Amino acid sequence: MSVSRERWSSDFSRWFDWVIEEAEIYDYGRYPVKGMGVWMPFGFQIRRRIIDIIRELHDSRGHEEVLFPILIPETLLRKESEHIRGFEGEVYWVTHGGLEPLDIKLALRPTSETNITYYESLWIKSYKQLPKKYYQIVSVFRYETKATRPMIRVREITTFKEAHTVHASFSDAERQVLEAIEIYKNLFDKLGIPYIISRRPEWDKFAGALYTIAFDTLMPDSRVMQIGTAHHLGQNFTKVFDFKIQLADGSLDYPWQTSYGVSDRVVASLISVHGDDRGLVLPSIIAPIQVIIIPIPIGLEEEKKTILEEARRIADLLKSSGFRVRVDDREELRPGAKYYYWEVRGVPIRIDIGPEEVKSRVYTVVRRDTLEKYKVSEDKLISELKAIIEDIDSHLSRRAWQSMKSAIKRVRTLKELEEWAKYKRGIVEVPWCGKEECAHRVEETLEVKTLGTPWPEERAEGEYCPICGLKAVTWARYAKTY
Ligand code: A5A
Ligand code: ZN
């Protein structure tokens, strides 16, 4: 038995708008500034739990949390030419202080490489201080010109975790990129969000980076969404900020940097990959409420009172075992309306308590992902709930991974590629000679985007580029993207 995912997959965009409103997650589209939304209380709790995990993953690996100014003077933002070229069209400028025009305009940070490097050059003088790993979780602003979407493409990115690191050598920065990848694998694994890791092509790397490694996930409409990126910045920023350090051999040189980031898209993908036609389905680690208890009042006032007391007793019992529990004791709502309310919000477990349950002390437990029902006696309640919750979490992750994996297809010939394009369901991998023009040809003819090449690197021995016929060096991935 399983909950339908018909509407969720066939009309995903509408489903997403519906669920963030109905579950009171994010109010979007009503604010008189385009691309900016409001985190509502239930959504805020989900977001906060994700942030907690992000913090823990960074703190435990020696990252230090900091907070830099939101305004960056134009002089700093313009220092690295590739960087400003990449962001120029997306920057919001503050031009006035009160009525006075400013001498130097100030950017609302679109990202913080420039102002952080500026400070690093003041703080870090020697290899002995390295590696240095900073991060902040802040709002950044990007005047996005593509169609905006709640959480997914916003102009105020409110949950922007950006890490910025400094290293004594190219290879230590490269090692840091690997650590960033480990952190993000850990994050997405905890949330049951499937991912595919690619090295972005040269023409799509972060503005100012040597290279970019990206995490992508598959959304229910078969489009791919980038959910995290890690960049090797080389010495590009340290050079233009004339940021030198003393190395072990006594010489002076520019240090090496990385940066890596995730955003509100982590919340969006969590909602998207696990949802179904009834709404959210939350993994227990994120669910603000893990167990909702619904009293089923039948008959006399006196009986109602005993049922409510029993519900509260069970809630206390579960709380003392560490579950996040609530009794829905609202008088004005019938049980059916309460079921709907908590199903939309993705609460993993529901317990119904009526007169039968009070008498027998055997409770009806319903799991959100499959709606399977269990009869559980009081003495087994804690252990059974733990087992069911564990099963829900692993089911969600397995289901999401299966659906992404089954959407990845390898093709070798033009004919197969065109056949795939008729359906464009998911991600296609094609042998690639490495030439930019061949990738662009695929992009244009199939109306897809290049995700890049597999990470870790994968050779395509004995394969040929179906566009130009030359020997392939690796595989290139393509998909419809957000
Ligand atoms: N300083 C580096 C880390 C940086 O800015 N990288 S980035 O530009 O790739 O952004 C990091 C992540 O933010 C991206 O991988 C993407 O998942 C997310 N992101 C980018 N633009 C966004 C937008 N307009 N709305 C929501 N998320 C966005
Ligand atoms: Zn080719």
Q: Identify the CATH class of 408-479.
A: alpha beta
Atom of ligand 1 nearest to the CA of 228: 15
The three-class DSSP label of residue 385 is helix
CATH for 6-274, options being 3.40.190.10, 3.30.930.10, 3.40.50.150, 3.60.21.10: 3.30.930.10
* Sequence ranges of the domains in the chain: 6-274, 291-388, 408-479
Residue partners of 380: CB distance under 8 A and separation at least 6:
none
Helix (H) or strand (E) holding 393: helix 381-405
- Please give the Cα distance from 52 to 46 (Å, whole number): 10
The one-digit pLDDT tens for each residue of the chain (482 residues) are 689 999 999 999 999 999 999 999 999 999 999 999 999 999 999 999 999 999 999 999 999 999 999 999 999 999 999 999 999 999 999 999 999 999 999 999 999 999 999 999 999 999 999 999 999 999 999 999 999 999 999 999 999 999 999 999 999 999 999 999 999 999 999 999 999 999 999 999 999 999 999 999 999 999 999 999 999 999 999 999 999 999 999 999 999 999 999 999 999 999 999 999 999 999 999 999 999 999 998 777 888 999 999 999 999 999 999 999 999 999 999 999 999 999 999 999 999 999 999 999 999 999 999 999 999 999 999 999 999 999 999 999 999 999 999 999 999 999 999 999 888 689 999 999 999 999 999 999 999 999 999 999 999 999 999 999 999 999 999 999 99
Pairing of strands 291-295, 349-353: parallel
162 CB under 6 A from ligand 1?
yes
Take atom 5 of ligand 1 and give the residue whose Cα is closest: 111
Pairing of strands 256-262, 252-253: unpaired
Judge whether 269 and 241 are in contact, CB under 8 Å: no
The three-class DSSP label of residue 443 is helix
> Rounded to 5 degrees, what angle do the CA atoms 329, 334, 339 make?
80
- Please give the Cα distance from 32 to 409 (Å, whole number): 43
> Rounded to 5 degrees, what angle do the CA atoms 429, 430, 436 make?
115
Q: Which of 58, 85, 158, 263 to mutate to test the pocket of ligand 1 (most atoms within 8 A of CB)?
A: 263
Pairing of strands 325-327, 349-353: unpaired
200 CB under 6 A from ligand 1?
no
Q: Which CATH number does 291-388 carry?
A: 3.40.50.800
Atom of ligand 1 nearest to the CA of 212: 9
Q: Cα of 443 to ligand 2 centre, how many Å?
A: 13
Judge whether 451 and 430 are in contact, CB under 8 Å: no
This model's pTM is above 0.95? yes
300-309 — which CB contacts under 8 Å span 24+ positions?
Answer: 303/355, 306/358, 307/353, 307/354, 307/355, 307/358
Structure tokens at 240: 């233009």
- Please give the Cα distance from 38 to 161 (Å, whole number): 18
- In 3D space, the residue among 186, 164, 183, 231 whose CA is nearest the CA of residue 61 turns out to be 183
260 CB under 6 A from ligand 1?
yes
Ligand nearest, relative to CA of residue 217: 1
Q: Which of 265, 266, 267, 481 to mutate to test the pocket of ligand 1 (most atoms within 8 A of CB)?
A: 265
Structure tokens at 208: 């100012």
